[in-house]
Amino acid sequence: MESVLVSACLRGVPCRYDGRDKPSAALDASLEGRVVVPFCPESAGGLPTPRRPAELVGGDGHAVLDGTAKVVDDAGEDVTAEFVAGAHLALDRARSAGCAEAVLMPRSPSCGRGRVYDGTFGGGLVPGDGVTAALLERHGITVTSAPGV
Ligand code: SF4
């Protein structure tokens, strides 16, 4: 049976920065018949829950992986290392579980695909990928955004 990596917060794990989850009935329906592998890169990378919200500054997740952008929380603390570590652990998990696809949380600085928050903590969006989404894509895993959230 086909396995798919899914942002853990979409599957009932209260791992978001605010200590909550973000379920999606549309996502659950779309995953029927597949083996779901829940994973939270920010938790895996060593960040606590709850935690301060963080956003990408100076570029998207690809730029973070290239060393030209960073991830900063709303108190100004640089959490780039934790985000990059979590991304690599997500890749390890996807590979070990045989996932060719990942369905991730939209807009997140880790999990976002195609659009992410713009780094101002004002709710604005810019084109780009989160750090984990970028790393998975670079290693041939198809990343899509979850529906219904
Ligand atoms: Fe959800 Fe991804 Fe954020 Fe973890 S890092 S809380 S899985 S969006």
Residues 146, 129, 120: CA angle, nearest 5 degrees: 105
Give the pLDDT score at 71.
98
pLDDT band at 12 (very low <50, low <70, confident <90, very high): very high
pLDDT (average), residues 79-107: 98
pLDDT tens for 53-63 read 999 999 999 99
Instruction: Write down the pLDDT at residue 96.
Output: 98
| Mean pLDDT, rounded, for 38-65 | 98
Tell whether ligand 1 has an atom less than 6 A from the beta carbon of residue 145.
no
Token pair belonging to 31? 């995953």
For ligand 1, atom 3, name the residue with the nearest CA.
Answer: 16
Atom nearest to 105 CA in ligand 1: 8
Strand 70-73 with 54-57, pairing: antiparallel
Mean pLDDT of the chain: 98
Per-residue pLDDT, 47:
98
What string of H, E and C letters represents the secondary structure of the chain? CCEEEEEHHHHCCCCCCCCCCCCCHHHHHHCCCCEEEEECHHHHCCCCCCCCCEEEECCCHHHHHCCCCEEEECCCCECHHHHHHHHHHHHHHHHHHCCCEEEECCECCCCCCCEEECCCCCCCEEECCCHHHHHHHHCCCEEEECCCC
Residue 123: per-residue pLDDT: 97
Closest ligand 1 atom to residue 15 Cα is 6
pLDDT of residue 77: 98
CB of 5 within 6 A of ligand 1: the answer is: no
Cα 2 to middle of ligand 1, angstroms:
22
- The answer, yes or no, to whether any atom of ligand 1 lies below 6 A from the CB of 9, is yes
- For the residues 88-101, what does the mean pLDDT come to? 98
